[in-house]
């Protein structure tokens, strides 16, 4: 059986340029990743191109069986994968963190295997018979971020393979080891060359996006990089699924029960220490319940342990990198300088090693404050007071991104009617950020386009072909 050391050894380069990854909680070295260049990328695309036709020819059933075996392999190595993920990304083993993320990898592989996509008959009137089929695209490029590196890689890889494509993955330069290890485990059950990882910087990502041998890019990351990918993919008219940045609003209606919703509000905002695309990042609370919501949330948040990921007691961790730590610090300072009231946190211990920023709640803050208007992507939640639902909806819709949103109320029908007015790809009611492999997920406005998960997710990894006759 493969141990943690075996797993690390299997992905450690024996030659070429390397990068040492440091644990964001302690600064200790975790391991070394290769730094590939565009020639390595060419080799990976060539191997994928060679492996893809035989994989496509296997058919849906055999490919699904292979994905189920890959899910078994992930489960066999789950504890070692979670440990590596925790050390490199910083997220704790427990809570909705490293073990949860590895569990999601096998769940999404199984779901992709189980999802049926059959040809659709669109017209059959005796004269005309037309069907839509979904054919493999060929080689798919998968470019991912550092916040949920394994899970997001599987979100891209599993449906791509299921639909008969080969995949070249370009992980974030901050978390390559997690993705290398995951792919090493998946490849125990997949044909050679079909799935590979190229660990490079932006240049390698940009080359993947413009590569004539790649038919589609699955991209998850910031809106700025999404725009760069649209440009670099234009000459080859690539298909794109873009899951970009968000700044999700939550609206608490006056009839919500503050104590009952505090825990779910907290995890909606602070899952993965706030480093989640569809986390709650701006909370709008009606004046009638404002003080009680602030109080209940502060009481809950103050008791949630943050610390080194491998310590089983912790469920919040450090920021993954210095750049993100600086963004969160700057935004909280801007809020404080503007006169907003810091209810909790906002006072990082500068003597402590690691990029720990304490759980922070900021009240009495203006809607145009940078902590509200910019994506903080960390453990700091602004809480904005509102007086009318129209005002709250206008503020929620006031930004140019729209990934997720939520409405909190004791009246389901009322919550759903407010939800319908919010410009976001998903609006949750009395929860925030829950994803499910059966339910399509994607952004509105500049949070991207294209859907992942479920049948819609499979369709987006095929080329629709109409057979008319």
Residues of the shown chain interacting with ligand NAD in the complex, contacts defined by CB under 6 A: 143-147, 152, 170-173, 202, 205-206, 209, 220-222, 225, 228-229, 232, 243-246, 277, 375, 377, 403, 443, 447-448
Out of 105, 199, 277, 294, the active site residue is 277
Is 277 tagged catalytic? Answer: yes
Nearest to ligand NAD of 74, 277 (CB atom):
277
Q: What tokens appear for 207 in the block?
A: 């080359």
Nearest-CB residue to ligand NAD?
205
The answer to whether 181 and 57 are in contact (CB under 8 A) is no
Of the pair 136, 246, the CB lying nearest ligand NAD is at: 246
- The DSSP annotation for 427-468 comes to EEES--S---TTS-B--EETTEES-BSHHHHHHTTEEEEEEE
CA-nearest of 163, 176, 168 to 67 is 163
Identity of the residue, 33 or 152, whose beta carbon is nearer to ligand NAD in the bound complex: 152
Q: Tell me the C-alpha distance between 208 and 202, whole Å.
A: 10
202 secondary structure, DSSP code: H
- Using CA atoms, how far residue 344 sits from 302, 303, 327, 403, in Å, is 7, 11, 18, 27
Q: Which is nearer to ligand NAD, 92 or 245 (CB)?
A: 245
Contact at 8 Å (CB) between 375 and 404?
no
Closest approach of ligand NAD to the CB of residue 291, in Å: 30
What is the spatial order of strands in the sheet that 448-449 belongs to? 195-197, 166-170, 139-143, 216-220, 239-243, 448-449
Chain-centroid distance of CA 210 in Å reads: 23
Choose between 246 and 318: whose C-beta lies nearer to ligand NAD: 246
Contact yes or no for 313/307 (Cβ under 8 A):
yes
Would you mind telling me the total number of residues written for the chain in this entry? 469
| Catalytic residue selected from 173, 243, 375, 452 | 243
- In the complex, the smallest distance separating the C-beta of residue 173 from ligand NAD, rounded to whole angstroms, is 5
Query: Could you list the active site residues?
Result: 243, 277
């Amino acid at each position: 059986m493969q141990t943690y050391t075996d797993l690390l050894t299997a992905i450690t380069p024996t030659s070429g340029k390397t990068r040492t990854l440091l644990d964001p909680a302690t600064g200790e070295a975790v391991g070394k990743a290769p730094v590939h260049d565009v020639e390595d990328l060419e080799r990976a695309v060539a191997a994928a191109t060679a492996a893809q036709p035989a994989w496509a020819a296997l058919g849906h059933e055999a490919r699904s069986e292979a994905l189920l075996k890959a899910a078994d392999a992930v489960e066999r190595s789950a504890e070692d994968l979670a440990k590596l993920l925790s050390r490199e990304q910083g997220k704790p083993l427990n809570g909705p963190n490293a073990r949860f993320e590895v569990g999601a990898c096998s769940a999404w592989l199984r779901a992709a295997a189980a999802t049926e996509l059959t040809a659709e008959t669109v017209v059959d009137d005796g004269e005309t018979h037309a069907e839509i089929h979904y054919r493999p695209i060929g080689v798919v490029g998968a470019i991912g971020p550092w916040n949920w590196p394994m899970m997001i890689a599987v979100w891209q890889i599993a449906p791509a393979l299921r639909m008969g494509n080969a995949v070249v993955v370009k992980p974030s330069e901050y978390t390559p080891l997690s993705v290398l290890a995951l792919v090493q485990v998946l490849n125990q059950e997949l044909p050679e060359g079909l799935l590979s990882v190229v660990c490079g910087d932006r240049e390698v990502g940009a080359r993947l996006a413009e590569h004539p041998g790649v038919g589609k890019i699955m991209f998850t990351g910031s809106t700025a990089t999404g725009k760069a990918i649209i440009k670099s993919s234009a000459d080859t008219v690539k298909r794109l699924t873009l899951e970009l940045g968000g700044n999700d609003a939550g609206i608490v209606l006056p009839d919500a029960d503050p104590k009952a919703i505090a825990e779910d509000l907290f995890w909606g905002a602070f899952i993965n220490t706030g480093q989640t695309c569809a986390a709650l990042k701006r909370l709008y609370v009606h004046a009638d319940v404002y003080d009680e919501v602030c109080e209940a949330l502060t009481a809950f948040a103050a008791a949630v342990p943050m610390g080194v990921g491998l310590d089983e007691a912790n469920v919040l961790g450090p920021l993954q990198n210095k750049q993100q730590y600086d963004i969160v610090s700057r935004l909280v300072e801007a809020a404080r300088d503007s006169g907003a009231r810091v209810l909790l946190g906002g006072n990082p211990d500068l003597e402590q090693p690691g990029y720990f920023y304490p759980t922070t709640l900021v009240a009495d803050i203006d809607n145009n404050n940078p902590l509200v208007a910019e994506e903080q992507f960390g453990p700091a939640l602004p809480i904005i007071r509102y007086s009318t639902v129209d005002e709250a909806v206008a503020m929620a819709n006031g930004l140019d991104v729209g990934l997720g949103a939520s409405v909190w109320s004791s009246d389901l029908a009322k919550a759903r009617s407010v939800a319908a007015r919010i410009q976001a790809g998903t609006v949750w009611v009395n929860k925030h950020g829950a994803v499910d492999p059966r339910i399509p997920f994607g952004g509105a406005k500049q949070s991207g386009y294209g859907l992942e998960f479920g049948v819609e997710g499979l369709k987006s990894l095929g080329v629709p072909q109409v057979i008319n006759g």
